[in-house]
Amino acid sequence: MEERIEIGEEKEQDFIQFVKNIILNTLKVEVGRRLSAAGMKKMEPYLARDVEQVANAVSFCVGPDAPILEVKYHSIDSISEKFGTLHGEHLVRAISSAVQGTSFLRRVLPVGVIVGSSLAALRNHFVVVTEHDHGQTEVLTLSQAKISGEKDLGKASGAEIHQTPVENARLDSSVNRKGRVLG
């Protein structure tokens, strides 16, 4: 039997930052693949800001007030097991809505690539499920993560989503759990 424990605000912030870093690192890889194309280097600072916006949206989606099925708060440093279960629909809506609010990222990468790579990265650390009409949950596969082109996916524009920008963020820099740029 699993024991659920109350966690302090510091652990919640570590958890949120952990999720944010997963998305930041994943999207940096995807954008980096496209940056080698001619003319893309000029957009790098704008893309870094857009990537940050999407990462903030996802971390807000899985934050303390988010619709999470369950999360086991172990030490984030020991990544030998999945941390918990997340709702795939909420993640897809948050990512899609954040991408719709970007200026440059959606021109460089299709929304499906952004959603797919983000879900794949999150699935390394969490079980991502979808909920059926009858309240049953099942593991979300990437083919089930359908993206709609509608503007009103998450009922929030990218500007309305919780944003805490990283100072001097670049696509070739790493961000630690405290949001500080490394390298």
**pLDDT per residue as tens digits for the range 131-141:** 754 455 555 44
Interatomic CA distance for residues 14 and 148, integer angstroms: 32
- Residue entry with tokens 């958890």: 15
Q: For residues 38 and 123, which has the higher predicted lDDT (pLDDT)?
A: 123
Res 38 pLDDT > 80: no
Per-residue pLDDT of 95-107, as tens digits, reads 999 999 999 999 8
Instruction: Confirm if 48 and 172 have CB atoms less than 8 A apart.
Output: no
Which residues neighbour 38 within 8 Å (Cβ) at sequence distance 6 or greater?
none
pTM, entire model: 0.63
Q: What is the pLDDT of residue 10?
A: 72
Per-residue pLDDT of 58-83, as tens digits, reads 988 887 655 444 445 444 454 456 77
Q: What is the pLDDT of residue 49?
A: 95
Instruction: Confirm if 116 and 144 have CB atoms less than 8 A apart.
Output: no
